[in-house]
Structure 1
């Protein structure tokens, strides 16, 4: 079974790689040992553990914070790539691809574009800080082995509103 984090990373990197504006641009996890790729590149980082957002002991709906960084030696290019990242996951096809994997973007904000000076080079960073709701790949044994399949519409009750709900499908 693939871990939730690996499944999320794979889905996000695949979508960015498919729609990236520069053919030779690298898309990678942020925490990788080795030399950084050539400019420009995009890094993806799940910077905190998944947090349950439903009132259930199974915790099938998890909020996962992810940061996307567009890194370049050209400030305008970094800003354009940051805007690309903040919009990408809300376009119809990427949104459908994610939904089919039980992933839905629910919050997005920009990250501060502060230049850094590494190895005597100016490096510009822009990007997005996003929260995705991920349906954990679990089987609900209390419901006759139903598997959580995809993210649906809005769930609202008197005590909690998650903005999404899980659709169950019999195996």
Structure 2
């Protein structure tokens, strides 16, 4: 039986408090309504969003990601952030990078930050999975600029040294 997805209004993210399995097809459709290229990987039972045209993604280790998320939020540029199943890695979804390559600055690479390559994909939790969305996706909310996220991550790293 599929879980009902509840909405608070037309711009809200679906939520659920049920322990029933989440309807992955409904989750993929929610992401598509956001304009994200999303698909349901039925074989693996997961949702996938593709990078390169509509959005890009940066993956940060949790110890850095939490501080970056706070800084992003206080800069009024917060956007969707999801975590892996162990909350060790956080994925920040951004507006597409307009540079020819996604090469990261040396200090970010040393901090184990990874850019998801163009044409790559990100496995994302169901939009109603509140445990794995520290910052949930919302309709009619622009994604933060790639360059802003890079700059804020670098700033956070500099303040730690």
1 or 2, which has the higher strand percentage? Answer: 1
Larger Rg: 1
Instruction: With a CA cutoff of 8 Å and minimum separation of 6, indicate the structure with the bigger relative contact order.
Output: 2
1 or 2, which has the higher helix percentage? Answer: 2
TM-score by length of 2: 0.27
TM-score by length of 1: 0.26
